[in-house]
Chains A and B, each alone.
Chain A
Amino acid sequence: MSMVSKNKETKDSCKNRKKVLIVGNPNVGKSVIFNNLTGTYVTVSNYPGTTVEVSRGKGKIGSEEYDIVDTPGMYSLLPITDEERVSQKIILSEKADVLLHVIDAKNLERMLPFTFQLSEAGLPVILVMNIMDEAEGLGIDIDIGKLEKELNMPVVPTVSVTKKGMNFLRHSIKNYVYGKPFDLAYGSSMEEKIAAVEGLLENNYPVSKRSVAILLLQNEMEILKTDENSETEITGIKKLIAEAGESYKHSVNYILNLKRYRTATMISEKVLKHGGNSKTGFAERLSLITMNPWTGLPILMLVLYFGLYKFVGGFGAGFLVDFLENTLFGKYVNPYVTTFVQSLIPWVSIQNLFIGEYGIITLGIRYAVAIILPIVGTFFIVFAIIEDSGYLPRLAMLIDRVFKKIGLSGRAVIPMVLGLGCDTMATMVTRTLATKREKVMATILLSLAVPCSAQLGVIMSLFDKNFAGLLVWVSIMFFIFLFVGYLGAKVLPGEEPIFFMEVPPLRMPKISNIIVKTYTRMEWYFMEVFPLFILASVLIWIGQITGIFDILVGLFVYPVRLLDLPDKTSVAFFFGFFRRDYGAAGLYDLNGAGLLSGNQLLVAAVTMTLFLPCIAQFIMNVKERGWRTGVGISIFILFFSFIAGFILNCLLKVSGVQL
């Protein structure tokens, strides 16, 4: 048992003791290894100037006493979080005699790139393959000897919780002899840039100058603060970093990571063997078939059919909306509020703010509570199940493969999947994409062909009793997405990038997690959407008084007539610019009133889905892509949506199809 005390960081006066640093991703068992190696006294203290805790202790290995430091979890030498920054500082400032890189043996391929970075830094690394029992349980067989040769460093398999392999680890620490660092070449062009930065470095660093140069090329300028650097050195380095940034289509960070991941894949393929454990084999097989386009797409269709069409469309939009709209609002809220407002306010124009066709209560609150809330609520239940089961990253991998087939970037998967939640937020995520081409492409696709959760839910409910219409709608949207993506990729060609992400194991979703996630999302959504719906009603009311509303709605009447839709549909399109779901809810009202035939419903739904981004997304497009691109995207979408609707209507008329 270790006695743990909380102290302020204190420097150990004993300089002669050897030091062991323990680093690695979160949740790989670093702390258990630390506890196994340390003795009875351990200090847990805040790293100076931060609230990040670092554990330090002493441990006897053989006859010698070592200082052992357990660093906070980190994923690479390039920090994102405070924890990673602290760990980086410890690695760079505290000279380790041995550095234990603890990894989860199940995820060798994903964790090796960090091992390369540590070795490249000239650090005395021992690779600790922890959680070996789970890896073996999954049928993963690792050739440790071969891995040692490939990496040129000691590799120690352990199961820290049962102390298996700990004696061998102690033995490896005691007998550690520094060898050559792992030799990873990044290509002649990049190597020239690394050498150029390396040549400018005047000071000595606790890690190799090559490693410092690589971090600097990744824009990690904070590394220079640890030493005194001359103005000439800093100016020269900044110039080289800027030049490097301009000389590649992708960011330097991306190119370096790509090389590391490719090397990790190559080594993993050499040293890993997957056995045939029947129990886990099923989970693995299930995981693989969800990511294979031939089997994954039919599975996705099943998820969409049962999850969205049956549950969201049938139960949420059918049963719940019917009850809330027709019973709660239709029989109780609207009649009561109408009578109350009419008796309280004698002026009809003021009454119209609250009741009537576009009133705050009879339209804004009714849309938010009776139509959107049950639909997004049921959608969020499905989303939480998908999220908690681990299907979401697999869906991303599946889409990635489909993307690659049409020459689109795999990294764009993340904003696309997020777009199914909220396109505005997803547009902001396009910042994480490496090139301008990818950013513009992703912004266009998000604005055009990716419906947000609320709009998707309402569209599902529109086709509640028209499954053939839904299938045509899905096919058209899918075709337009791929067509515009393909065209974009041809117009703006670029190198096909590789997409990496962790794929956690599939698991049975927990009801408690689903409840919490659904509630939290519904709460967030309602808090955001409710004021906007009220604001929209107020703006429409002002527009009605001033006559602007009729003028703006009138602008949409002509294109709407071209699509053979009733004039009233122009109001729904006008609503759609406020919020996508607001517009779709307008269509829901028209459909409920029996004003749309099956064909008209399909044409209206396709045009509405493709239609202009909502105000918030438009602002985000302009903010992220600039005025010219943001406005340009909207103009393109405005014309494209009506042209697509027009062509669809013509095709339906010529073919004589009646949905």
Chain B
Amino acid sequence: MKCSFCGFEFKENEADKSCCGCVMAKKCRLLKCPNCGFEIPKESEWIKKIIRFFGKKLFPP
């Protein structure tokens, strides 16, 4: 995924690392860009399925 703030590209699991020190990290539904700290809400599984189904043309990164 690409941070919509600073443009840094990272994977979901990379985002987890950048806020591992946070007390709310376990239940948190936000993905934090490891480069700038901008937070993007985690997409639900069914939203991901829709995006995969319709492809990148309809949902550009």
Contacts and interface: CB of A to CB of B under 8 A. Distances in A.
B4 A428 contact: no
Interface string A510-521: 101100110111
B6 A425 contact: no
Interface in B20-48: 22-23, 29-30, 32, 34-39, 41-44, 47
A524 interface: yes
A619 B50 CA distance: 38
A414 B4 CA distance: 12
Contact of B43 (A414, A425, A516): A516
A519 B47 contact: yes
Given A396-B5, A527-B29, A418 B37 contact: yes
A27 B8 CA distance: 11
A81 B11 contact: yes
Contacts of A520: 41-44, 47
Interface stretch (A221-229, A387-395, A563-571, A606-614): A387-395
B38 A414 contact: yes
B5 A393 contact: yes
Interface string A427-441: 011011000000000
Interface in A562-585: none
A421 B9 contact: no
**B8, B13, B34, B38: most-surrounded residue (chain A CB, <10 A):** B38
B29 to A, nearest CB: 5
A432 B51 CA distance: 32
A422 B9 CA distance: 23
Contact of A523 (B10, B36, B37, B41): B41
A504 interface: yes
Contacts of B19: 428
Nearest to B23: A623
B30 to A, nearest CB: 7
A513 B34 contact: no
Contacts of B36: 414, 432, 501
A80 B4 CA distance: 18
B47 to A, nearest CB: 6
A619 B60 CA distance: 38
SS of A interface (majority): helix
A512 B59 contact: yes
Nearest to B8: A75
Chain B interface size, under 10 / 10 to 19 / 20 to 34 / 35 or more: 20 to 34
Given A425-B30, A510-B59, A512-B58, A414 B7 contact: no
B39 A392 contact: no
B24 to A, nearest CB: 8
A80 B9 CA distance: 11
A381 B33 CA distance: 21
A82 interface: yes
Interface residues of A, number: 42
A528 interface: yes
Interface string A490-506: 00000000000110100
Nearest to B37: A429
B14 A81 contact: yes
Contacts of A519: 47
A523 to B, nearest CB: 6
Contacts of B41: 517, 520-521, 523-524
B22 to A, nearest CB: 6
Contacts of A488: none
A524 B34 contact: no
Given A388-B4, A428-B19, A26 B37 contact: no
A124 interface: no
**A418, A523, A524: most-surrounded residue (chain B CB, <10 A):** A524
B38 A418 contact: yes
Interface in A507-557: 510, 512-513, 516-517, 519-521, 523-524, 527-528
A415 B8 CA distance: 17
Contacts of A528: 29
A510 B60 contact: yes
A414 B59 contact: no
A73 interface: yes
Contact of B37 (A387, A422, A432, A517): A432
Contact of B5 (A388, A392, A428, A516): A392
A524 B39 CA distance: 12
Given A393-B5, A502-B7, A528-B29, A523 B44 contact: yes
Contacts of B43: 516, 520
A518 B33 CA distance: 19
Nearest to B7: A502
Contacts of B8: 75, 80, 502
Contact of A516 (B23, B29, B38, B59): B59
Contacts of B5: 387, 392-393, 396, 414, 417, 501
Contacts of B11: 81-83
Given A392-B4, A501-B6, A623-B23, A421 B59 contact: no
A387 B38 CA distance: 11
Contacts of A83: 11
A517 B42 CA distance: 10
B51 A516 contact: yes
Interface in A393-416: 393, 396, 414-415
Contacts of B50: 516
Contacts of A512: 54, 58-59
A524 B28 CA distance: 9
A27 B9 contact: yes
Contacts of B14: 80-82
Contacts of B13: 82
Nearest to B4: A387
A504 B34 contact: no
Pick the 7 closest A-B CB pairs, nearest first.
Answer: A429-B37, A502-B7, A524-B41, A26-B9, A520-B41, A81-B14, A524-B29
16 contacts: A27-B9, A75-B8, A80-B34, A80-B35, A387-B4, A392-B5, A414-B36, A417-B5, A418-B38, A422-B39, A502-B6, A510-B60, A520-B42, A520-B44, A521-B41, A523-B29
Given A75-B35, A388-B4, A421-B39, 8 more contacts: A81-B11, A81-B14, A414-B36, A501-B7, A513-B59, A520-B41, A523-B44, A619-B23
Interface of A: 25-27, 73, 75, 80-83, 387-388, 392-393, 396, 414-415, 417-418, 421-422, 425, 428-429, 431-432, 501-502, 504, 510, 512-513, 516-517, 519-521, 523-524, 527-528, 619, 623
